[in-house]
Amino acid sequence: MQRSVADAIRTELHSLINRLRYGDGNFAPPLLEQLNQLWKDDFEPTTRALLELDPDDIEVTPISWKQVEPHLLDAASAVSLKVINGTVADILDYRNNPDGVSILAIGGDKLSRGLTLEGLSISYFFRSSRMYDTLMQMGRWFGYHPGYLDLCRLYTTQDLITWYRHIALASYELKQEFEHMAAIGGTPRDYGLRVRTHPNGLQITGASKLRTGTEMRVSFSGTIAETVVLFTSSETIRSNAEAVKTLLIRADAVASRKDDKSRAIWSDVPSQEVIRFLSEYQTHPSALKVHNRTLAEFISKKNSKSALTNWEVVLLKGGKAEMSYDIPPVGLVKLTQREQVFRDDTRQCVQRMVSRSDEALDLSDAEYEEALRRTVEAWERGDPSIRGKDKPKSPSAFFIRDVRPKLRGLLLIYPVQFYDHLENPLPTDHPVFGIALSFPSSGLSEDDGIIYRVNNIYWGQEFELV
């Protein structure tokens, strides 16, 4: 199979080089026009977006098509094709090429797990596994690439995108656990660790390596659940908009409200209204950390233990988008602009929905000052979760949730407008509503429906056995 793929690519590469050298002949449309359009539609917007993320930390210099075009033939002619596996003699010879080589490498296990490709910029990846650790070993595409990070591309299957998204979330959570363990001076002998499991068949590792790991449900306590994956279906967008309007009208009838230019806040909304809203609002099935029915069930369970009985509901209304909508009972609301990082026929994705300060909107002055005090103390201790060289001027999300009383939850509602990579607003008859639920840290430690694989220490600590 690898030889067959290599033959097909070799034929295509020779065709492209000949068209660049001698012209298109009978080929249409012209190759240079196609490449120019690809540059405008993909590479230029990607470079701009990357620089907007962190212009001080991204070592990327934008260049124009006029600078690129004269080098296309030389660049294509320099490419060599190699098949890398146990039965082929091709090798990647970096030592004798100090100025670098341009290689198309085709292979399987050797490429995905056996070696590192220096200067890798583009990957086509199709090898699947149902083990977290194997997939993570295979995910060896891109490291730190100062100067050309905007040129890196990964092409793969939708299943693998979904799996890696889940593994990235599980890995991020586990790293947070390690940082907290280090901050308090703990070790794996006395600190319980957990790894999020997958609901549809992915395994953390082989059974022999799991040994005494145990599955258990772990709480939403001290977390935020936000919708970074949203529907593209106009029918679902309309249905979710109706669910939001119904919630706000009912909240207006049972709770006090205060408005300013950027938000409307309803205080002491009964939890039943939030549960009803979550039963009507639909979260996308591929949203791994937020599911409307699971959240509604969790809140209902906590109500029986006198927790999460009252909610602050916040509608963020002072956005930056060009469009605005009439949202009863608030009136005209300007949408928040969102640029998606991924879009297909069923979903649109963003990196974050919640801004840093949003989670503190429900805090009293005294609660805010207490959260800030704890944040500063953690920074002074060198807690790795509080980053930055300068003394914090606002509380971290962790301590915001830590000071929030167990009776109170926070529901944030974001009416958003999505834009394409050419900065054109994506049309819709209704605003796309994203939501986020922020939970206090105390009083919510029982079963919440998310299953983790935990070690014996975690299990013992949870049930006071150690």
pLDDT digits 0-9 by tens, 160-202: 888 888 888 888 878 877 776 775 567 777 766 777 776 666 7
| Residue range(s) defining the domain that contains residue 192 | 161-217+450-462
- pLDDT grade for 268, boundaries at 50, 70 and 90: very high
pLDDT digits 0-9 by tens, 115-136: 778 888 899 988 777 787 888 8
DSSP E strand stretches across 142-295:
153-156, 194-196, 214-218, 224-226, 229-231, 256-259, 263-270
Q: Which comes out higher in pLDDT, residue 92 or 324? A: 324
**Taking 60 as the threshold, does the pLDDT of residue 57 lie above it?**
yes
Q: Name the nearest CA neighbour of 232 among 33, 439, 387, 427.
A: 427
Q: Are residues 304 and 426 in the same domain?
A: yes
Cα dihedral 157, 160, 164, 167, rounded to 10, equals: 170
Q: What is the pLDDT of residue 386?
A: 78
Q: Are residues 111 and 169 in the same domain?
A: no
Q: Stretch 260-289: mean pLDDT, rounded?
A: 90
Task: Single out the residue in 156, 183, 198 at which a domain terminates.
Answer: 156
**Taking 60 as the threshold, does the pLDDT of residue 218 lie above it?**
no
Q: Which of 16-20, 45-49, 153-157, 290-294 has the lowest mean pLDDT?
A: 290-294
Task: Single out the residue in 156, 182, 206 at which a domain terminates.
Answer: 156
Model confidence, pTM: 0.57
Q: Which comes out higher in pLDDT, residue 103 or 130? A: 103
Q: Are residues 205 and 242 in the same domain?
A: no
Q: Are residues 91 and 194 in the same domain?
A: no
Distance CA 308, CA 321 (A): 33
Q: Are residues 211 and 74 in the same domain?
A: no
Establish if 126 belongs to a structural domain: yes
pLDDT digits 0-9 by tens, 421-466: 667 777 788 889 999 999 998 665 554 455 667 666 655 554 433 3
- Structure tokens given for 9: 């690519």
Q: Stretch 208-223: mean pLDDT, rounded?
A: 68
Q: Are residues 297 and 422 in the same domain?
A: yes
Q: What is the pLDDT of residue 457?
A: 65
Give the number of domains in the chain: 3
Q: Are residues 27 and 97 in the same domain?
A: yes
Q: Are residues 307 and 199 in the same domain?
A: no
Establish if 349 belongs to a structural domain: yes
Biggest CA pair distance of the chain:
78
Q: Are residues 108 and 175 in the same domain?
A: no
pLDDT digits 0-9 by tens, 351-405: 778 887 999 999 999 999 999 999 999 888 887 667 778 899 999 988 999 999 9
Q: What is the pLDDT of residue 197?
A: 74
Percent of the chain with pLDDT over 70: 85
